[in-house]
Structure 1
Amino acid sequence: MHRITFGTSGWRGILCEDFTFENVKVVTQAIADHVKAVGEQDKGIIVAYDTRFMGERFAKETVRVLAGAGIKAYFCRRDTPTPVISFEILRRGTAGAVNFTASHNPPEYNGIKFSPSWGGPALPETTGDIERRANEMMGEVCYREMALDEAVRAGLLEEIDPREEYLKALESKVDFDAIGRLGSVAVNALYGTGRGYLDEPLMARGVGVKAINMHRDPYFGGFPPEPSEKYIQDFIRLVKDDPAVGLGIATDGDADRFGIVDGDGTFIEPNYIIALLFDYLVRVRKMTGAVARSVATSHLVDAVAKKHGIEVIETPVGFKYIGELISQDRIIIGGEESAGLSIKGHVPEKDGILACFLVAEMVAREGLSVKALLARLYEEVGTFVTKRENITLSPAVEEGYAEKQRQAPDSFAGLKVTQKVAVDGSKFILEDGSWLLFRKSGTEPVVRLYGEASSEEKLVAVMAAGKQFILG
């Protein structure tokens, strides 16, 4: 019997192993019981899915269990981006949403993400309650199912498509008139939910669109649907080989993460995009408030904040913490190094669609390439080079890892540790502004090592010292 465990973005599992119809029904009943416990069952729940294998079938089983529990389901009639679901929760005032997605995980995975009524990813107290309820019910017939036609007659099922309302709302957050001045943009939905969201708004404004991977494919072309440099080489070549294309924009499988390729085919790390957009929103849009970044995200954000005299809020990894600040209207922008961001006045959830359009707006209004904008920013606030590496631990090293963290050295690569941060994992700020972060995976014998320095040479030395500390 597999135990249900919610991570930073819901419960994920491998199809036919732990992600089965039976387990999905148990988790759905746990969500229904949670919604009833907080007194929101009369608001209904949105049920959605991305382009993964069997997503629609799993979603329909969830509708049947919710109907059996007397809770109305607003069923998305096509695969729907995660940020669009967040938008629709707030627009309709529902008790939340059940979304079948494993985001950027490989194709053999699927997952359930529950977003509560405030529209962001569920906080630990919520997922903990659902997790507890589900595991207590495992192995029991704990739910009642209602046939879909019966649910319709009972008023417990309504089909929806939130696309048009979401795109209409984007018009107040993105300068599409400016984007319309761009000659040609390459678009990559990675076979996911971004189809029709990235391309059609551009074409409607006369922008030339060169699209790739715009059909549904549960195998995602044989790669994880992640818009990172490693997995979008076909897209990078497309942009590089076409001189008419000035920018490439991509989203992951559920369109909550973004990938940006400059006009010359250079992949731009998400860390730098977050900082560039932050500077742009303050300098050009004149937006006010604080800025938030996860503990693993580049301090280039901090340098921009210092330039403008703005407060930085450092959060644990997991967009739910940034989303909470968005919902409180406290921050201009919040972002994570793993390519997630949102802005003030928008949904409290990662939105890769919005991120792509904001970059296109920035490039159009500034009249410079992304690389040129980044070079200009480096001249103003200094250079920042970042890297992340996954380090697999042997059983012996894993056993002693916790004790090693308690006895961490006072220096790395000859640089003295000036500050230790325990927001999430162990982060060490070094005397020259470089830093290292160690985060142990909760599900596998892996330590995620993050590092940043002012040059590639310094970063190599700092990362090597961090790796030696873990394995030595």
Structure 2
Amino acid sequence: MSSFTVSIVDTVTFEGQKPGTSGLRKAAKIFQQEHYTENFIQAIFEAVGDNLFGSTLVVGGDGRYYGRDVIEKIIKIAAANGISKLLVGQNGIFSTPAVSTVIRKYKTIGGIVLTASHNPGGPNGDFGIKFNCENGGPASDSITNKIYDITKTLKKYKIVPELSVDIDKIQCVTVQVDGKPFTIDVIDSVNDYINLMKEIFDFSSIKKLLQGNDEHLPFKILINSMNGVTGPYVKQIFGKELSVSDSNLVNSTPKEDFGGLHPDPNLTYAADFVNDVKTGLYDFGAAFDGDGDRNMIIGKKAFFVNPSDSLAVLAANLNVIPYFQKVGVKGYARSMPTGAAVDRVAKSTNIECFEVPTGWKYFGNLMDAGLISLCGEESFGTGSNHIREKDGIWTSLAWLNIIASHRKSIEEILLNHWCTYGRNFFTRYDYENCDIDAANKMMKYVEELMKESDFVGRKFTSHNKTYIIKEADNYSYKDPIDGSVASKQGLRILFEDSSRIIFRLSGTGSAGATIRLYIESYEADSSTYLRDPQTVLKPLVDISLELSKLGEFTGRNEPTVIT
């Protein structure tokens, strides 16, 4: 057995190593600075504290540029900090949902996920490091704040510089570090996750749907992994288990730069995929982001399923999925900016629905307390209590399970849903890479406007539509489980007819500021259900831009992305 010695390295502190809603995200070049990545990893381990000693940790990522180098650093630093064992994904690959799966299955102390999610990759792209806790979900605010505090004063880090392991080969290697055993177990990245999916869904029913029979034509699907981490999972689940042709599984090889794609599954960045489905050759399309936690679902001729609608439809149909038939449905939750369609399902079924800040970690406490079974965000993220992360492949399988049960198209399922509950029209405008000072000034301007004594009750008219303000605030949330409070989570303007305007600065970008504008309006008139949401919501969009003076503050006349 090889033997190694721990070294102590003097370092310098770096400003700005504050984790956001999903870890620390910066340009890859920033992480490549000497000591920068090592500092942050050491800070994670020190924040975990004494529980780290003798523990097991999961490590992997979305395959983006610089990931292999960082895994090598994690192995060396973990060995020096008293961890007993690492579970490393083969080739350094682990989707974010798979990391959560492995953490929970093997009861580890947590995991380090190397991803910037839906952000571009490559030498000129982004990189990210996220710590997940022992429940499999993103670290709580208390942990991320502790990590940040440590980075501000860190002077040294521990490392075993000579330690090196081939992560392309499935193997279990044990070495001695200062006389104590340290194990690196390189495991199959896919198996544990696939086995979990087969326990949740009716694969035989889905397979029959896809293959067709004497009564039904084959249900044709197109799956786009956007050259992200889901490729190996898609090949195994859809290719091997469900017998979908390789030609229907596109961009399924993980690439360090995502093949030049922007791995964000929306109508803008997945336009080629949408156009392929528009041809009418496919009945169903699903696209996933870089690390596999986000999804976009579209029907025949690219009939778009808004993520807020997707969450509501899943909530209304969980009873056809074997997992929920077995464990039951305990509750629902959505992020505050997400459309309130799921609230209507919850009310009709007398099941509680929670509203939480943006960030998957806020769902974790509710799940661990047994209060919710399904949750989602308007940012193309949906998941259930099978793990503690949003899960793109899970969502696509849930839709296929529902379609196989009802034998209806996506459009028919949505129309039936709207006829039952009405339609919450929803859109989001993203203004990416805005000047940070300008974005903050705009948010401050809107918040000051909202404080005016006569703001509530004001009337706004646009395109012959009149809206009266019922309530306005800067959203805050008190966790019903641990009592922690998250404040300043987005500016909300709520109208008497249940319409909403929300302004929020996003924490998922690596540079500049992203202003997100959320618009929602409820319609109970069935004649409106197939109208273009952009047309229906145009009055509120115009009101929000005029009220906020967004164009004047930022110089932006158009959003970067509309969903």
Q: Which residue of 2 aligns with 1:466?
A: 544
Deviates more, 1:446-455 or 1:378-387: 446-455
In structure 2, C-alpha distance between the alignment counterparts of 1:125 and 1:440, rounded to whole Å: 21
Q: Percent identity?
A: 27
Q: State the distance in 1 between where 2:301 and 2:506 align.
A: 36
**1:399 to partner: Cα distance:** 3.2
**Residue 73 of structure 1 aligns with which residue?**
86
Q: Find the partner of 2:131 among 110, 114, 134.
A: 114
Match of 1:370 among 407, 410, 418: 410
Counterpart of 1:452 in structure 2 is 520
**Letter aligned with residue 434 of structure 1:** S
Q: Given the superposition, is the C-alpha separation of residues 303 and 64 from structure 1 closer, same or farther in structure 2, using an over 3 Å criterion?
A: same
Map of 1:271 onto structure 2 = 308
Trace 1:427-442 onto structure 2 (pairs within 5 A). Answer: 427-441=492-506
Q: Which residue of 1 aligns with 2:483?
A: none
Q: In the aligned structure 2, how far is the partner of 1:164 from the partner of 1:294? A: 31
1:217-263 CA-partner distances (Å, limit 9, x unpaired): 222232321111111122223333363x3211221111011111212
* Structure whose alpha-carbon radius of gyration is higher: 2
Amino acid at match of 2:232: G
Q: Structure 2 length normalisation: TM-score? A: 0.78
Q: Unpaired runs of 5+ in structure 2? A: 1-13, 166-172, 211-217, 477-488, 524-532, 553-563
1:315–1:322 Cα contact (<8 Å) kept = yes
Query: Residues of 1 paired with 2:229 and 2:544: CA distance?
Result: 38
**Mean Cα deviation higher: 201-210 or 86-95:** 201-210
Listed as ranges, the matches of 1:2-401 within 5 Å are 2-20=15-33, 22-37=35-50, 39-71=51-83, 72-78=85-91, 79-107=93-121, 108-137=125-154, 140-149=155-164, 152-154=174-176, 155-156=181-182, 157-181=184-208, 182=210, 183=218, 184-209=220-245, 210-241=248-279, 243=281, 245-282=282-319, 287-344=328-385, 346-391=386-431, 392=434, 398-399=440-441, 401=443
Q: How far apart in 1 are the matches of 2:249 and 2:75?
A: 34
**Equivalences, count:** 467
Superposition deviation, residue 293 in structure 1: 0.2
CA distance in 1, matches of 2:32, 2:472: 39
Partner of 1:264, secondary structure, is helix
After TM superposition, give the deviation of residue 141 of structure 1 in Å. Answer: 3.8
- State the 1:52 CA deviation: 0.5
Question: Where in structure 1 do 4 or more consecutive aligned residues deviate above 6 Å?
Answer: none
Residue 18 (structure 1) shift: 4.5
> Once the 2 structures are TM-superposed, how far is the Cα of residue 417 of structure 1 from its aligned partner?
1.9
Aligned CA distance change for structure 1 residues 73 and 306 (closer, same or farther; 3 Å): same
Distance 2:194 2:34 in 1: 33
2:9 aligns to what?
none
Is the 1:67–1:145 contact (alpha carbons within 8 Å) kept by the matching residues of 2?
Answer: yes
The 1-side partners of 2:242 and 2:377 are apart by 32
Counterpart amino acid of residue 254 in structure 1: D
Contact 1:277 / 1:359 at 8 angstroms: preserved in 2? Answer: yes
Q: How far did 1:176 drift? A: 0.9
- Counterparts in 2 of 1:268 and 1:153: CA distance versus 1, 3 Å: same
Distance 1:232 1:194 in 2: 15
Structure 1 residues 395 and 120: alpha-carbon distance in aligned structure 2, compared to 1, 3 A threshold: closer
Distance 2:32 2:390 in 1: 24
Distance 1:446 1:102, change over 3 A: closer
Task: Give the Å deviation of 1:102.
Answer: 0.5
Q: Report if aligned partners of 1:180, 1:206 keep a CA contact under 8 Å in 2.
A: yes
Counterpart-to-counterpart distance in 2, 1:127 and 1:299? 29
Q: Structure 1 counterpart of 2:71, which letter?
A: A
Query: Which digits, 9 at most, give the CA deviation of each residue in 1:290-321, with x for residues without a partner?
Result: 21000010111111112212211000000110
